[in-house]
Structure 1
Amino acid sequence: MLLKYKDGKKEILIKADTLSDFEKGKKIELAEIVLTNLLGEEKVMNELDYLDVLEIDESPYNTQGIKDLDKHLDHLKKDA
């Protein structure tokens, strides 16, 4: 889930059942690696402000696959 707040900051909430066996800090570290590989280090560093990894049943948000995240970030950037 990609969220954009009123102050323009962006947060990504990730749910992944494959991360359920890891502690919270390790989950976030692994999610950062995946995002960096998917989006590139520059985009992760410059365009994302927050990252959290949620438990599978923890989020009330409708989620989408991560493959279109780059397009969604670009769309938010154009609307800024």
Structure 2
Amino acid sequence: MTATLPSTARTRLFNGDSITDCGRREEPDGLDHGFVDLPAEEHGAREGGATVLNRGTSGRKAADLGARFGPDCLDLARSS
């Protein structure tokens, strides 16, 4: 049985610390060379045109995630 995919492409956003960051700024696609790249490949293969974003920042702590939730997440939805 084949799953029916939504007609509009979805976006998955990863946010976190150095484990999420994993050198994303050095990568042309802005993802990383770590665990975000793996689901990005799978997500793109399942849903054509799907988007995966990495907003991980090395050194970030839980309190920083709360403070950056607007610019890193909500503002992206507002601008699209």
Larger radius of gyration: 2
TM over 0.5: same fold? no
More helix by share: 1
More strand by share: 1
TM-score (norm 2): 0.40
